[in-house]
Amino acid sequence: MTLYDRYINGQRKEVYQDIYALGQDAFLPENLADIEKVMTETFQRVAYNLDIIYAELKNVNYLFKTEPKYNFEKPLHKPLPETGSLLDELDNAVKPFGFVPLSLKHFYKIVGGVNFAWDYENNENFMWKMADPIQIASLDAVVETVTEKSWREDIQQYVDDETSGTAFLDLAADDLHKDNVSGGQVYAIQITSQPSIDSNFLNEPNNTTFINYLRICFEYCGFPGIARPEMKNDYQAFFDKVKSRLKPI
């Protein structure tokens, strides 16, 4: 049975564990085609789930960014027409430090971008407090950042730092910044020293990979912090309408 067949039959976490265990052998021709098929299915499900969540958030009058000017401000956008060339620029920019994980590339090719952060600039009364809404920066915004000379200099300092020693791409504000509270480091995906299927999603509370972060997000209908008991968020009605309709990844 192929990895894809196992994934479709419900062995989703197990399939990714087996893919990760392959290491660099994942990129052998006899393995990569099957893995690419799994990842395509995964990110098609991600796109589907975000559409479901977005539609219901609009139904409950959730306040997205008012009149967004840039792609990274939009609550949801499909892959940009120039995705291919932008990914080439991204690869070239990070080459001195390593490789962009395939998981992020598939996100940009199949999903596009998402920003379910509340627009606190127009209304400070959050529907759900400290809910940590899913947010993945648009590809054009990421490329704009990494093609600046200062980015390479800043990342080199992190790489040279004995306590961190890794390069990364910033993708999302942390939970505190999303609630307009002075917070910590932004959520970022690790740039890997060798080609990789997936990599760590840094600074996020669950200390996990990018794909598993998305899995956790959908477990909480796009808001992985929403169930914090101290926040007393009233989210059950929203969950009842959304959760059963989401596809597991």
pLDDT beyond 80 at 43:
yes
pLDDT beyond 80 at 25:
yes
Domains of the chain, by residue range, sit at: 3-245
pLDDT digits (tens, 9 = 90+) for 131-141: 999 999 999 99
How large is the average pLDDT for residues 162-189?
A: 90
Please provide the average confidence, as pLDDT, over all residues in the chain.
96
Surface-to-core class of residue 238, CB atoms within 10 Å of its CB (0-12 exposed, 13-18 middle, 19+ buried): buried
pLDDT of residue 163: 67
- Please state, for a pLDDT cut of 70, what percent of the chain lies above it: 99
How large is the average pLDDT for residues 45-51?
A: 98
Q: Name the pLDDT band for 162 (thresholds 50, 70, 90).
A: low
Question: If DSSP codes are grouped into helix, strand and coil, which group holds residue 170?
Answer: strand
| Strands of the sheet with 113-115, listed across from one edge | 76-77, 113-115, 135-136
Question: If DSSP codes are grouped into helix, strand and coil, which group holds residue 92?
Answer: helix
Angle at Cα 135 formed by Cα 89 and Cα 206, nearest 5°?
A: 105
